Chain A
Amino acid sequence: MSSDPKAPLGLRIAATGGLLLLHLPLLLIVVYAFTTEEKSFQFPPPGFTTKWFGIAWSERPDIWPPLFLSLKVAAIATCLALVLGTFAAAGLSRARFFGRETVSLLFVLPIALPGIITGISLRSAFDIMGLDFSTWTIVLGHATFCIVVVYNNAIARFRRLGGNLIEASMDLGANGLQTLYYVVLPQIGTALLAGGMLAFALSFDEVIVTTFTAGQQSTLPIWMLSELIRPRQRPVTNVVAVFVIVTTMVPILLAYYLTREGEHTGGSSK
């Protein structure tokens, strides 16, 4: 942007320092996954061991069902959100009707209002309808806030795409379905993939809404929350935390890779 690229020293320190502070706590968890101290959070750790990884793998069967439930919920919620979010973005990007702003606000509402409101409303609705807690009650909540993530990614791409290519395709004699298949889908594919991955990461990690919609079931975040409140083997929780950090990192990096041109880096290409 500017012809003078050298930042003032104070700004460089504040910016770099701030970013480092964002990452040090996560690194600390990795350190604690290797500690020999089981009962407290003593720092520096009295010794280092890799045994907790083995214990988490083979001696804690209570980890697996929550993990599988989380994966299942995230997969279903992501699929639902992909369909609904894309429809919403496609519809709104074409629409020029009165109240369009209100509709777009409606889609953003589930993340603009605190999660606890979503949670308790869903729960009271389940109560009123006499619905029993199941995987589907969790999915219902997750899909609701995952729609926004897909919607945001898709609408950004639709805006950039504009209508020209679609018109050109029609002018060249393609019908609507062909235009959809050969022109629109290839253009928005990566944005949908990115949105889907972010939705998956969001659902996999969600705890606030889930505590209201899960009943007695346990997803991985709920398992972790109960370990935080009543710790059993603290280092095992650290091992699971490290696992969660790594598994959420992959979709985020992929999502970034898929959408790296244009949408996020905004003015940099000018």
Chain B
Amino acid sequence: MSTRAAAGRQGGVGEAISDVFFARPGLLTLLLLLPPLLWIGVVYIGSLIALLLQSFYSLDDFSGLVVHDFTLSTYGQLLEEANVGIIVRTVAMSALVTLACALIAFPIAYYAARYAKGWKKALFYLAVMMPLWSSYLVKVYAWKLILAKEGILTWIASGLGMTWLLEGLLALPVIGGPSLSFSYIGTFLVFVYVWIPYMILPIQAALERVPANLIEASADLGAEPSQTFWHVIYPLALPGIVAGSIFTFSLTLGDYIIPQIVGNSRLMIGQAVYTLQGTAGNIPLAAAFTVVPMVIMGFYLWMAKRMGAFDVL
């Protein structure tokens, strides 16, 4: 602080600039916001618009070239049976993954918010942050190891004499497959594992805000613990769950790497987009496909905002 007197002497330009900003606080705000807004506006929103425009073009079936005429026929192709299958499959997977993440994350978040204190709380927090920020590919890779036919799960199953259970699961129609790493069960497990931390943190943030005396009051008024949970804790935790589900849902919706590495050959939206824009060169259809998650997430974000989920992000 004592150095300020020395710095005060620079005067001149500095004074002049700060006088201008002091007189017009809005100008400074504008100058601060302009560069990031330009960046997001030009690079991100500009690219999004470029993409959306392409979805109104179409691919010429004979030449394989993109026809630059306005048409809705590309969107029409989205309604073909195979493409509807891809969309339904992806949305169903996203919903199931979100549900599973919420179920597993809730006890962790609840414990961390209500019971963990001091170093235990820090430990819990770090234990969630580490897997959240550690490499996505490394996590997916770890599950390739776990789910492999010769891997640890098969080993554990045979050690416990439960090979029949594993084989029974894999024999199931639709979700089964030749081995866990080539089945929907495998894809589902990896998605749940990779996104769980995104669910824990917002739920914990929401639960932290539940005052302890609210729970005591509920007990004093004669509520059973389960009643307190469903009528007091759960409604207050809901914005956190919704906030977490934004991530789990959106991330599953657009992922194309996990189903490519662990899963069967049926495509999800992300994979469809990737192959369409790459080897197939059908950018219009790829662009139309990306509109699906955009619309779903737009609706989802609107709902989430109404439920107050953004306050705990």
**Chain A residues with a Cβ under 8 A of chain B:** 1-3, 5-7, 11-12, 14-15, 18-19, 21-23, 25-26, 28-29, 32, 40-44, 83-85, 87-88, 90-92, 94-95, 97, 103, 105-110, 112-118, 120-125, 127-128, 140, 143-144, 147, 151, 170, 173-179, 181-182, 198, 201-202, 205, 207-208, 211, 221, 224-225, 228-229, 237, 241, 244-245, 248-249, 252-253, 256, 260, 264-268
Contact = CB atoms under 8 A, between A and B. Distances in A.
Contact of A124 (B33, B39, B50, B137): B50
Given A113-B250, A176-B22, A225-B137, A23 B205 contact: no
A174 B4 contact: yes
A150 B313 CA distance: 14
A1 to B, nearest CB: 4
A72 B278 CA distance: 26
Q: Give the interface size bracket for B toward A.
A: 35 or more
A120 B137 contact: no
Given A43-B150, A120-B287, A175-B18, A144 B44 contact: yes
Given A249-B130, A268-B121, 16 more contacts: A5-B115, A7-B111, A22-B127, A22-B196, A41-B150, A91-B36, A113-B250, A114-B254, A114-B270, A118-B44, A120-B273, A124-B54, A125-B47, A237-B141, A264-B125, A265-B121
9 contacts: A2-B115, A18-B108, A26-B134, A91-B30, A91-B36, A94-B28, A114-B255, A225-B137, A253-B126
Contact of A19 (B128, B145, B301): B128
Nearest to B3: A182
Interface stretch (B77-85, B160-168, B208-216): B208-216
A266 B125 contact: no
Contact of B126 (A87, A94, A147, A256): A256
A252 B129 contact: yes
A221 B216 CA distance: 50
Contacts of A201: 133
B197 A128 contact: no
Given A15-B112, A106-B37, A116-B290, A29 B141 contact: yes
Given A18-B104, A95-B29, A114-B255, A42 B40 contact: no
Chain A contact residues, majority secondary structure? helix
A18 B114 contact: no
B290 A95 contact: no
B236 interface: no
B129 A256 contact: yes
B254 A44 contact: no
Given A84-B39, A125-B46, A147-B36, A12 B209 contact: no
A94 B29 contact: yes
Contacts of B140: 228
Interface string B221-257: 0000000000000000000000000100011011111
B297 interface: yes
Contacts of A21: 193
B136 A87 contact: no
B150 A248 contact: no
Interface in B1-51: 1, 3-4, 7-8, 14-15, 17-19, 21-22, 25, 28-30, 32-33, 35-37, 39-41, 43-48, 50-51
